[in-house]
Amino acid sequence: MPKILDDLFHDTLKDIHYAERQIVKALPKMADAAQSDRLRDAFREHCKQSETHIERLQKVFELIDQPAGTKTCPAIEGMIKEGEEIMKDFHESAALDAGLIAAAQAVEHYEIARYGTLREWAAQLGLQDAARLLDQTLQEESETDELLTAIAEESANHHAEDRT
């Protein structure tokens, strides 16, 4: 039987479900590594949001009568590994927070792409409740991306230039 949009939707839901679960594990480490209180708080808040994102995804799985499974996502694993390398290579460096923000924004942009696609597919499939839940998460991911940009522009990038 040929695969159709329903199959792709379910497969991609499993991908982002896996990604969110990995993000919840990574964010506390990033928060602990962050030098600025504002960035540390942003990572901690986003970790709480990510737990809510997982709950929403579980509701979407229920709406399509599928188990809330996961599918290994090599993309998110690579981005998290890059973040870990930044924490190790720039530990106690003036550039650490800028690097953490860059790593976090790579993840945010991935999530924004996934949630935007999933929202559109849900709408196409007539899954309005799922589309609404996915859109809620998409908006929160976009807000987090904007917050990270603000922290980078207001302090982290300038601090990273500090040569003293």
The domain ranges of the chain are: 5-160
User: In which band, very low, low, confident or very high, does the pLDDT at 117 lie, cut at 50, 70 and 90?
Assistant: very high
CATH number for the region 5-160 comes to 1.20.1260.10
pLDDT number for residue 3: 83
Please give, one letter per residue, the 3-state secondary structure of the chain: CCCCHHHHHHHHHHHHHHHHHHHHHHHHHHHHHCCCHHHHHHHHHHHHHHHHHHHHHHHHHHHCCCCCCCCCCHHHHHHHHHHHHHHHHCCCCCCHHHHHHHHHHHHHHHHHHHHHHHHHHHHHCCCHHHHHHHHHHHHHHHHHHHHHHHHHHHHHHHHHCCCC
- pTM for this structure? 0.94
The string of pLDDT tens digits covering residues 2-52 is 789 999 999 999 999 999 999 999 999 999 999 999 999 999 999 999 999
